[in-house]
Structure 1
Amino acid sequence: MRKNILAVAVLTLVVFAGCSLFDNNDNSNDFYPLAKGNYWNLKMTNQTIAGDSVVKDTIIHMRSEVIDEVTLNNGKKAYEMKTGATDSLYNFAIMGNNIFYIEKGDSAYFEYDSLGQSVGSYMAPITIEVGDSWDTDSSHVAVVEIDSVTVNAGTFESYKLANVYNGDTSWQWIAKGVGLVKMVNETPIDSMTKVRSTIELFEYSVK
């Protein structure tokens, strides 16, 4: 999305058909559980690939955290989110972090860049199933299948999403009661070179 690759992952929200994404009474049913203090530590590996060889390998540590429950200036309730790069111990950098807000509407979820923004940007419907798709301001998202994926934080049965942004497709895996588990994106540099970015969940804590 428009902020950075981590924000793309954070703002891709999915649920089982007929179930609410944010159930305040049972976060174990949430695909992106929101409660103050929840956090997700992630590791992104950027590989520059020429032909069949990796010529450069860079690791970036990142974190997403629910900072607080807030009231927007339009009177609606929302969650304050903080995302950004960190050091290897997952302490946020002093500069360059993103702050935004997530609000649950009657049938969809919306993102706000500030407390004073009057109308939020569409993020995702409240309920979905495999085969569903939707459009945001900047991407097209489709729910492809249920898939098992293993990362440092564990093995998770996840919904696999295809997120098309500016002609490029990123693949994302999101697990019930956990949130983002993995994301893979490839960007061509020229006819022989591409950059593969892989985000994996390293550790997390949800309530």
Structure 2
Amino acid sequence: MLADPMVLILMYFVLPVWLIAGFADWLCHRATHIESTTGAKESLIHLLMFVEVGIPLLAAMFLEVNALVIAVMIVAFFVHEATAMWDVRYATTARTVGPIEQHIHSFLEMIPLMGLVSVVSLHWGQFLALFGTGTERARFDLAWKQEQLPVTYVAIVMLVIALFELLPYVEEFFRGLRANAGRLVPAKARRREAGDTAIR
């Protein structure tokens, strides 16, 4: 399985591009002074999206992909999309979401779909079985991968996620709280109507 070109593309292209886009998005938030515009509330939404993509990612990395894992991935994708819409709608109440950040968002929304489609193509029988078709029986058990990913690869990915995804967004959240005396929503965001684009 690890020699499959699709698996290699997922491991060494799709996931790295996704992580780079996540860090670039954090840089955009910092450049638009998120702590004094939309504050910790938007950061909390970002952390929620981190969980929504983290669950299917960890499942794909460590578990045998079956109908259950595919179902979780599909649900997580749509929940993440809904949260992303909420995020942008709230963000534009008090800060400008510029062209670069919008372009980064397009990566952050489509790369999970690319990953999902790739996983489905690798496990087509279980995808069909999820909908009661095909020749395989749908499996809904949780089991560790028989062929685990290389330990070095997993360690590097986990380290990069911790240093360049989780920690920056946690820092963003607490920066927003500090800038607004512990309030989730800054006064500037409370004065705006949802959907307005404002300059700092």
From the two aligned structures, give the one with the greater strand fraction.
1
By relative contact order (CA 8 Å, sep 6+), the higher-ranking structure is: 2
Provide TM-score, normalisation by structure 1: 0.27
The TM-score with structure 2 as length reference comes to: 0.28
